[in-house]
Amino acid sequence: MTTASLSELRRALKNVPHGDLPDLCIRLARYKKENKELLSYLLFEVDDEPEYIRSVKTEIDRHFGELTKTTPYMTKKGVRKTLTFTNQKIRYSGQKRTEVELLIYFCKKFKKEVSFRNNITLKNIYIRQIQRIKKTLATLHEDLQFDFGEEVKLME
């Protein structure tokens, strides 16, 4: 069985009766947690982006709270898990401003909570995220570039 392209799916969804569309969405959400989370974001949280950002930051705090006083291996694993969680929430939003804001928050917590100066792996994770912030920052409005740029300079 071959998977249809997005354009084919879009055309097919236009032909589906409007009454059947909710059933298709529920069926899709039933099979994967990510689908359910994305659908929840699109239905309930898309209108209040600042509240969404606050809730994600709270979850990031919780993830970093679990990292305290663990072995270096578990710290690396926990940081990767937190970064994966953050990237997933960024993907749901799809907004560059949200991406920059959440990555800056992740890096601040990372720098504050984790001692990574002697660990090359953790140091590389931090450096890659700073580079990603800078790359995304270049696509934002000039005022936002200045505001977030100041924060990034303080983190380097």
Question: Per-residue pLDDT for 107 more than 90?
Answer: yes
Instruction: Specify the pTM.
Output: 0.87
Give yes or no: residues 41 and 113 share one domain: no
Beta carbons of 87 and 59 less than 8 angstroms apart: no
**Whether 74 and 124 share a structural domain:** yes
**18 and 37 assigned to the same domain:** yes
What b-and-e string marks burial along 31-58, b requiring 16 or more CB atoms within 10 Å of the CB?
eeeeeeebeebeeebeeeeeebbeebbe
pLDDT, tens only, 11-21: 888 888 888 88
Q: Are residues 72 and 143 in the same domain?
A: yes
Residues 56 and 21 in one domain: no
In a domain, residue 2? The reply is no
Q: Which of 59, 43, 45, 131 is nearest to 95 (CA)?
A: 45
Long-range pairs for 36-39: beta carbons < 8 A, 24 or more residues apart: 37/88, 37/92, 38/92
Q: How far apart are CA 43 and CA 95, in angstroms?
A: 16
User: What pLDDT score does 1 carry?
Assistant: 72
Whether 65 and 123 share a structural domain: yes
My answer on whether 55 and 27 are in the same domain is no
Task: Decide if 113 is inside a domain.
Answer: yes
Residue of higher predicted confidence among 101 and 4: 101
Q: Are 15 and 67 part of one and the same domain?
A: no
Give the pLDDT confidence score for residue 52 in this predicted structure.
94
Kindly tell me the sign of the dihedral angle through the C-alpha atoms of 4, 5, 6, 7: negative
Work out the average pLDDT over 77-91. Answer: 95
**Residue 87: closest CA among 61, 42, 56:** 56
What is the arithmetic mean of pLDDT over 103-117? 90
Same domain, 113 and 63: yes
What's the mean per-residue pLDDT of the chain? 90
Residues 36 and 85 in one domain: no
Domain residue limits at 29: 9-47
Interatomic CA distance for residues 74 and 82, integer angstroms: 12
Let me know whether 79 and 124 are in one domain.
yes
For the chain, the domain total comes to: 2
Indicate whether 33 and 68 sit together in one domain. no
